[in-house]
Structures are given as structure tokens and as C-alpha cells.
Homo-oligomer: A and B are copies of this chain.
Amino acid sequence: MTDLKNDRLLRAYLRQPTDRTPVWMMRQAGRYLPEYRKLRAEAGSFMGLATQPELACEVTLQPLERYPLDGAILFSDILTVPDAMGLGLRFETGEGPRFDRPVRDEAAVAGLPSIEPEEQLGYVMDAVRLIRRELDGRVPLIGFSGSPWTVATYMVEGGSSRTFPIIKRMAYERPDLLHRLLDHLTTATVAYLNAQVAAGAQAIMVFDTWGSVLTPAVYRAFSLAYLQRIVNEVTREADGRRVPVVLFTKGAGPLLDVMSTTGCDALGVDWTTDLADARVFTQDRVALQGNLDPSVLLAGPAVIREEVARVLESYGRGPGHVFNLGHGITPEVDPDHAGAMIEAVVELSPAYHAGD
């Protein structure tokens, strides 16, 4: 494999000194970019893009052509794993993902097949290999998956939800059944992430978008416990280099404390918790990634620069901060505004690393 020319991101995830704060954006390969929308239209559908390695690779690299980003993230979706289990994934316009065959009873859980990532999800590994080749060591490639809890919400509810009535009822009434589902999903997720690392992913991020809809006790039992298994079981080294594992529970707040004791390397933080408070919750046990409110990018460059400065100041001095949005960039953002954010990080962050 080619030597990595820019390893700021990997170093920051491990809380090692860097010259400035590395930066990337969740959903940086996405609909706010006209070049993405063009390819997306040609492919005909989101999954059409994700399942063709050449297109997934091209889309992954698009934001790197525009901005001095410190990382690339695989273009894919958190629902590839249940899709590979044959649940019939569809993306309906304006409605989000739907599964034709939701998983709600004993028989459905028992019937979930095992996953052999290089077989059913070979298109993802092919994309990873192709992206690594095309990146040619410019920046590291981040692989990812959804958290078992978050992926299970879609599998059980049959799609997006606001209140998650079916899976929450299952958590309270049939904890044994939900644990069986999550256990199966975690095994598949670990295999999937390890296949990504084997194919070339240099860091791993696990997205737990819906962990914070639970009580703290239910979160620990049904989301955190499976994040913990992932941290324990994923490959942590490749090509003689540590593969950092980043966990992200949106809206985690004080839960960042227990998350930081899992042995993960870094935690994503959304904008509802100040990074200064997140450092208190996590006691500098892990690196922190975040946390500009994506809505800030709807404002003009002057406001963006000011808010970037606030986020940098909130984290403060020293290594261990990866600049990012607090959640994915939204489709209506002007690409120049994303550029203004990245430029501000590049310009303003070295002051926080001087002397490291």
C-alpha cells in the first residue's frame, strides 16, 4: 500500500500532535454538490450509486477535488447490511428508506441469514479497494457502519420513525428477542467492518443516529452494549498502523461518559453539547470529533468563520480534536459555504497546536 502523505486525521484520532486540526464533513460526498447530483441522476437511484464501485469511488473523491479535506469517507449507507440480509430495501422519494419485510417476530429474527461480506457486500469492498487506489495515499479512507441499535430501528419499524413504537415496545416486552436480533446484527456488522479494514479502510466510524431516543438504562442495554462488542471485536491494526474506531451517538450528551470507557479511540459529538463539556464528560480518555451545527452553513462566510472559531475555542488547546459538523451536511448548503468552513479551520486551528 502507498504511504500516507497526510496522516493528520489518524494522528488526531489517536490524540497525537498535529500541525493543525484535521477536518472532514459527515456526508461530504452528497447532495449539496452539483457534481454529486449529476452522477446521482445518471445512476438513477441512491443504491445505484452505492452498488457500483466506480461510481461510489468517484462520488467519494468529489469533495476532495474541491476542498483541502483531511479524510475521505466511503460513499455507502448504513442499511447495506440489512439489505444484504434480503429484507427488501427501497428508498422512496421524500419518505426515506423502507423495508418490504420488517423484522418483528421470532420467525423473522430466526430467519435472518448470516452475512459473508465479500459475497453479499462485495460491491462495498470493491469500492474500498478502488478508492484506496485512486486516493493514492493523499488522505486516509474512513469505513463505516450503522450501530446495531440504529440499523435495527429501520429493520423493525420498516423504515424511518419519529417515536419508534414497535422496536421500543419490543425492548420493553421482548428484550430477549431484541437482544437476539442485535446480537445477530452485531456479528454481521463486525464482519462487515473487518472486511472493510481488510480491503483498505484506515479508520472506522459507527453511526448511532437513534441511540438517544432511549432512556439511559435502555441505551446502555440495547445500544451501548453492542457498540462495546464492535469496539472489542473489530480489527484495530492494518499495514502496521492503528485503525482508529470512532463512535457517534447523536444527542449523546452526558452519555459520552460511558461511551468513552468502551475503549474506542474517538467519539463524535453533535452540536447540542459544547466540546468543552464533552471533554469534561470524557475526561480526555478519547479524541473528539465535531461539532459545528450544520445549519451554520446556511449563513454567510463571516458567520461561519465566527462559529468555527467558537468550536475550536470550545475544544481548546492540544491534540485530539477532529473538526467536523455535528451531523451530516444538508442538501441546501452552498458548496462555497462548506469551503469557507474548511478554510476557517485551516487558518484558525494552528494556534491551538503551536508548541505541541
Minimum Cβ distance to chain B for residue A173 (Å) = 5
* CB of A214 closer than 8 Å to a CB of B: yes
Q: How far is the CA of A299 from the CA of B170 in the complex (A)?
A: 8
Counted per complex, copies of this chain come to 2
* CB of A106 closer than 8 Å to a CB of B: no
Residues of B within 8 A of A126 (CB): none
Q: Which of A63-71, A187-195, A198-206, A271-279 contacts B (4 or more CB under 8 A)?
A: A271-279
* CB of A165 closer than 8 Å to a CB of B: yes
* CB of A2 closer than 8 Å to a CB of B: no
Minimum Cβ distance to chain B for residue A212 (Å) = 6
Contact across chains for B163 and A274 when beta carbons are under 8 A apart? no
Closest to A169 in B: B298
A207-219 CB mask vs B (1 if < 8 Å, else 0) is 0000011111110
Closest to A277 in B: B254
Minimum Cβ distance to chain B for residue A70 (Å) = 24
Residues of B within 8 A of A300 (CB): 173
Q: How far is the CA of A172 from the CA of B341 in the complex (A)?
A: 14
A: number of interface residues (CB 8 Å): 34
Say which residue of B217, B218, B277, B298 sits within 8 Å of A172 (CB atoms): B298
A263-303 CB mask vs B (1 if < 8 Å, else 0) is 00000000111100100000000000000011110111001
* CB of A335 closer than 8 Å to a CB of B: no
Question: Residues of A at under 8 Å CB distance from B?
Answer: 163-165, 168-169, 172-173, 212-218, 251, 253-254, 271-274, 277, 293-296, 298-300, 303, 307, 310, 330, 332
